[in-house]
Structure 1
Amino acid sequence: MAVTAGSDPVITRTSVPDPGPGEVLVRIKAASVNPTDVMTWRRGRFPTGETTPMVGGYDLAGEVVSIGRGVTILQPGDAVAGMPRFPHPAGAFADFTTAPARHLAKVPAGGPGAAEPDWGRLAALPLAGSRHGRPWWTPPGSRRTTRF
C-alpha cells in the first residue's frame, strides 16, 4: 500500500525484496498505524526526508521467510515483531519487507491452545511499548532480558 500526500492510500504491486547481509525477509501478518504514519500522509514526506509515494508503515508483526548472509539470531518460520529501521519507514504496509535482524524481536507462540500469535496485538506493541526512545525488545548482545 503506497501513500501519497493528501490522498487515500493506494494498493500497488511491488516485487518481493531479497534480504541483504544481516537482514531477514518478513511476511507481514499485521501492521499498525502510528502517529508518524499519519503525519507522513498529511505532509507527503517522512520525518527523515523520504518523499511519497512510498510504501509506509513502521510497526509490524510477521513471520521470517528467509535470512540474509550472516544472520544467526533468527530463522525462517520465526514469529517476529518490531519497528525496524526507525526513524526510516519499514515498509510495513506491504505483504513482504526486509529488515535488519537485530531490529526485530522473536516472539513466542500464541499461548495455550493458540495456533498462531496474536498478530494484531504484536503489531501494536513496538511503538506503544517503547519508553523514552528505548526499544521495547532486547537487542541482541544486550544483558537485559526480554519479557512478553
Structure 2
Amino acid sequence: MRALVLNQYGTPMELTEIPTPVAGPGQVLVAVHASGVNPLDTKIRAGKAAHAQRVLPAVLGLDLAGVVRTVGEGVQGFAPGDEVYGLTGGVGDLQGSLAQYAAVDARLLAPKPTSLTMRQAAALPLATITAWEGLIDRAAVTDGDRVLIHGGAGGIGHIAIQIARHHGAQVFATGSPRSLATIQELGATPIDHTTTDVPHYVAQHTGGQGFDIIFDTVGGTTLDASFAAARTYTGHVVSALGWGTHSLAPLSFRGATYSGVFTLLPLLTGNGRTHHGEIMTHATTLADNGALTPRLDPRHYTLETATDAHTAVETGTAQGKIVIDVTDTTDDTDDTDVTG
C-alpha cells in the first residue's frame, strides 16, 4: 500500500510502498479515506513531541475516517463495509492514518455519522475526545453552568463550545479579533483577549463571581489567567496543555480545582481505549442530531501534498480543520464549514 513515512525528525515525509497490514485479534483493517491534521501531528514530525513516544520510521496521522475491509478475531460490532472513524494511531508504535490502510484496535472506533462526509468525520476525533474528557469526564458540565473556553475558534475550542452548549451551559470563549465572529456563530459570547483582561471579563460576564468551568486549550499564561477567573469554591479549571511551571496560588485562594487532560494516554498504554470509542459514539449521535459540526478549511490535500497541509497548520493559515484526502473523496466536496 501507499503510505507517507517519516524517517527522520524535521524532514519531509516520504511517499512510498509498505506492506499492507493485517487485522489481528481485536483489530479491524480500515481503508483510510481521510486523515485529520492536528498541531500535534506537526510537532511529532518536527521531533518536538516527546510525550507522543513516536518510534521511527513511522506513519503519522492521529485522526482517521474510512471503511472497514476485514475484522480480526474476537471483534464484534463491526463488519466489512461499515463506515467508521476514530483517534487510532500516529503515536508510540501505532501506525497512523497517512496510509491507504490501517489495522486499528476496534475499541477506538465508532460508526461514522451518516450526516457527515468522510472529511468532516476525520476532523473530529482528537478534538472531540479532548473536549469531552475535559468538559464531561473531568468537569461534569451541566445545565446553567457558566463555561469559559480559551481559544474558542481553535480545533478543540470550537468543538468544546458545541459540546458545552448541548449540555445546557452558558458559554463564553476567548479569541483574537479575527476569530470573534466565528465564536459568536458557534453560539458563544466572544471575548477579545487582546483588549480585555481577566478582572474585566470576570466582572462583565459573571458579576465578579468567576466561571464555573474554564477549559484551557492554549496553555502558558492563558492557564495562569484561568486560575484567576475560576469561581470561588466550585470553580473547575481543565487544561489540555498543562505542562510548564505555574503558580497554583490564585486557584488555591479560591478553593477551586484543576484537572489535566492527556488524550493520548489510551493509545500509549492500552488502558481506556473502550472509553474513547464510547466518546466517538456519543459524537456520532450529536452530529446526526445537528449538535456537532466541525469547521473545515476548504483546501483539499492528498498524500502527495501532505507536507503543504502540515505547513498550513504550522503557519496558522488554516481557516478551520485541515484534512488530507487519502483516497478518492470526490463525493465529499461539499463539506466546508457551516459556521463561517
* TM interval, short-chain normalised: 0.7 to 0.9
Q: How does 1:17-96 map to 2 (within 5 A)?
A: 17-43=21-47, 47-85=51-89, 88=92, 89-96=94-101
Judged with a 3 Å threshold, the aligned counterparts in structure 2 of structure 1 residues 59 and 20 are, in CA distance, closer, same or farther, namely: same
Judged with a 3 Å threshold, the aligned counterparts in structure 2 of structure 1 residues 126 and 138 are, in CA distance, closer, same or farther, namely: same
Superposition deviation, residue 58 in structure 1: 0.6
Judged with a 3 Å threshold, the aligned counterparts in structure 2 of structure 1 residues 12 and 87 are, in CA distance, closer, same or farther, namely: closer
Aligned residues: 140
Q: Which has the higher helix share?
A: 2
Contact 1:5 1:45 in 2 (8 A): no
Superposition deviation, residue 53 in structure 1: 2.5
* CA distance in 1: counterparts of 2:279 and 2:283, whole angstroms: 9
Q: Secondary structure at the match of 1:138?
A: helix
- Matched to 1:95, the amino acid is Q
Aligned to 1:2: 5
Judged with a 3 Å threshold, the aligned counterparts in structure 2 of structure 1 residues 49 and 32 are, in CA distance, closer, same or farther, namely: same
Superposition deviation, residue 84 in structure 1: 1.7
> Does 2:133 correspond to 1:127?
no
Judged with a 3 Å threshold, the aligned counterparts in structure 2 of structure 1 residues 19 and 44 are, in CA distance, closer, same or farther, namely: farther
**After alignment, is 98-107 or 40-49 more displaced?**
40-49
From 87, 95, 110, the equivalent of 1:105 is: 110
Deviations 1:1-48 (A, max 9, x none): 012311111101111111111100000000011122111111176634
Q: Please give the root-mean-square deviation of Cα atoms over the aligned residues, in Å.
A: 2.7
- Structure 2 unpaired stretches of 5+: 135-260, 264-274, 288-340
* CA distance in 2: counterparts of 1:22 and 1:54, whole angstroms: 22
- Matched to 1:38, the amino acid is T
Contact 1:61 1:79 in 2 (8 A): yes
Q: Which runs of 4+ in 1 moved over 6 A?
A: none
* CA distance in 1: counterparts of 2:283 and 2:54, whole angstroms: 34
Contact 1:137 1:146 in 2 (8 A): no
Superposition deviation, residue 108 in structure 1: 3.8
TM-score, normalisation: structure 1: 0.81
Judged with a 3 Å threshold, the aligned counterparts in structure 2 of structure 1 residues 34 and 42 are, in CA distance, closer, same or farther, namely: same
TM-score, normalisation: structure 2: 0.37
- Structure 1 unpaired stretches of 5+: 112-116
Deviations 1:103-128 (A, max 9, x none): 0011243x4xxxxx511111001022
- The percent identity for this pair of structures is 31
- The structure with higher relative contact order (CA 8 Å, sep 6+) is 1
Judged with a 3 Å threshold, the aligned counterparts in structure 2 of structure 1 residues 49 and 128 are, in CA distance, closer, same or farther, namely: closer
Aligned to 2:173: none
* CA distance in 2: counterparts of 1:108 and 1:126, whole angstroms: 12
Superposition deviation, residue 100 in structure 1: 0.9
- Matched to 1:119, the amino acid is M
Q: Secondary structure at the match of 1:71?
A: coil
* CA distance in 2: counterparts of 1:59 and 1:46, whole angstroms: 19
- Matched to 1:138, the amino acid is E
